[in-house]
Structure 1
């Protein structure tokens, strides 16, 4: 029986990673959970049916010294863990600078300390660290998986901290078996549409679905630009698969859509699925930033410029090696056309629930 530690609860990515791990009958999961989410995590584990017996909910704090555990407990955890799936990070536009730095940088340091403690005891756990293409900042053109320091601008705390975290992980690869899963914008589950954080492209989707049915909204960026999104379940499946492959240690992998839709096509399809009028025309990026400072968007994000920058990117992500490696294990990224329906349906159901409760949809990152 192998034991995998998962950080990042209650985020959906962490929960999807855990269920992917449990698909292996010879694997068990330790979920590192903050105290305020402890009972919720236990209730979630109980919903897993026969697999619940292979889930241990451990109270801890990934940003604290020794993960908030006692010294002996920390060393015991380091000794018995085979793989760490580190998914406690944030790219949210809503998280404050100090919180995002603690989570993305200090959390990474603590995970690496756990791995080093295991190494000193003769059992170095594999580290699978989940990252984001935001680590590449404003870099454009064809970006490779081993790219990191390109002289690019880092335009936000999220980009700065993801970049710094990846530098720590890359340095650690010299002595530890580390794999970095660098994903594009994560969207809902490809089967159910479920998502836990309305961020990135969801902000425009929510504005579209909240507007009058016959209103045509202009797109907030150049329509010819790629909108690279990837479903959360694919990221989880890719990370768990790479985490047991020896050849994946010491490498960074782009987990992205190999054939992303353009911004124009993506939002046209979203409008069609939602029964809305197709967006008409595009607003130049600079004007988009100004428009997104309107009250309707200020309630959704405090960083409209960062929101537009995420959509208006000319970056392309090389990942032919990643696709070949994952395809050999039957793991392929779903096409946008295959999950746009569940994605829109889930947002519509949440907006309807909000209208019934007459409260705001929560856009805060629960980890921060």
Structure 2
């Protein structure tokens, strides 16, 4: 599981896109580092196929273990767990449930218990230098105004059990910061790769694109109401680079980082950009949240999203995310978030291609919790 002298990084959440991108980034930028993946049995074949895409020299530095990041000892054998605890130096914990509408029991097990197991592994790992817990800025729930990175449980309500349990997972990490070197990263609205457009879940901000594409072709796209709320959208490639740099920074332990775009872009401007990229006209009237949710349930689209109402509610949220820690620690790293306008065409094109493929498939056979949808 790696030599005693080299770095060994555990990554959970594989083969979802953020974990894949992170693994590739680590292998490219740390030539002496070994990577260990703990993957659910039902996702092993998909994980093997993704790893086969790597060049052989890179692939030899990855160890794939069958397990469960939320199970006791990560679902590993005693020998596997002891070997991992003896060698691991960094942990990037990305495994979580994100599809809205998930049963509470599943969300609590994966999100909260997963955090508990990472802390337990950290306590057993003599060589540990950092746990990087990948959370979300939406642990702020229904808060308004400026949200600071050090804030967490402020009595806020939540739009879904997903965000509630991810906040509670952060509480687990926050309590353990007194004894373990832990950093928490909180991306805002996450989309796919800004260069390739690749994504493995078409939810969250993608619902805006589906809303535009789901309206009749001869209908001008009305803007969401209210259109002056600011939206903060970040691509996965930026989040991966930022989380990797934070994980390597010697002074970043015991801190939380909002990974935001720093753009002052309103919902109206985002809608305009999406409409133009999709070849659609916009008009200066507003679409009520209820109507937007109805459009997202039209045939051919409703099976591609799980619960649009929660996201449409987020559009009315006025929270702003302070990024003092992120700005400070990434100032000289060369890691910057690309502006939305530079990749919106790629983003919209990816959704158009996805919709074309899905319209020709039997969507009724797709499970609601399909992790690769």
Q: Which has the higher contact order (CA 8 A, sep 6+)?
A: 1
Pick one of 99, 111, 116 that aligns with 2:118: 111
Quick check: 1:308 aligned with 2:275? no
Pick one of 44, 52, 62 that aligns with 1:38: 44
Q: Distance in 1 between matches of 2:337 and 2:365?
A: 29
Per the alignment, residue 193 of structure 1 pairs with 197
Q: Given that residues 214 and 298 in structure 2 are in contact (C-alpha distance below 8 angstroms), is that contact kept between their aligned partners in structure 1?
A: no
Instruction: String of CA shifts for 1:187-239, please: whole Å, max 9, x gaps.
Output: 01010111100111212312322333222233343110111111011111111
- Aligned CA RMSD, in angstroms, stands at 2.2
Residues 361/20 of structure 1: CA separation in 2 closer, same or farther (3 Å cut): farther
Q: Distance in 1 between matches of 2:158 and 2:101?
A: 17
Per the alignment, residue 70 of structure 2 pairs with 63
Per the alignment, residue 15 of structure 1 pairs with 20
Residues 90/358 of structure 1: CA separation in 2 closer, same or farther (3 Å cut): closer
Instruction: String of CA shifts for 1:41-80, please: whole Å, max 9, x gaps.
Output: 1221121113111111111111111110122321210111
The TM-score with structure 1 as length reference comes to: 0.92
Q: Given that residues 173 and 250 in structure 1 are in contact (C-alpha distance below 8 angstroms), is that contact kept between their aligned partners in structure 2?
A: yes
Q: Distance in 1 between matches of 2:18 and 2:34?
A: 17
Pick one of 82, 101, 110 that aligns with 2:108: 101
> How far is 1:33 from its partner?
0.8
Q: Given that residues 207 and 296 in structure 2 are in contact (C-alpha distance below 8 angstroms), is that contact kept between their aligned partners in structure 1?
A: no
Residues 96/217 of structure 1: CA separation in 2 closer, same or farther (3 Å cut): farther
Per the alignment, residue 82 of structure 2 pairs with 75
Q: Given that residues 181 and 253 in structure 2 are in contact (C-alpha distance below 8 angstroms), is that contact kept between their aligned partners in structure 1?
A: yes
Residues 292/302 of structure 1: CA separation in 2 closer, same or farther (3 Å cut): farther
Matches within 5 A, 1:310-325: 310-325=314-329
> How far is 1:284 from its partner?
4.3
> How far is 1:26 from its partner?
1.8
Matches within 5 A, 1:1-368: 1-23=6-28, 24-49=30-55, 50-118=57-125, 122-278=126-282, 280-285=284-289, 287-288=290-291, 291=294, 295-296=298-299, 298-357=302-361, 359=363, 364-366=369-371
SS at match of 1:77: helix
SS at match of 1:84: strand
Aligned pairs, number = 364
Q: Distance in 2 between matches of 1:284 and 1:211?
A: 14
Residues 153/355 of structure 1: CA separation in 2 closer, same or farther (3 Å cut): closer
Per the alignment, residue 3 of structure 2 pairs with none
SS at match of 1:57: strand
The TM-score with structure 2 as length reference comes to: 0.91
Q: Distance in 2 between matches of 1:283 and 1:357?
A: 30
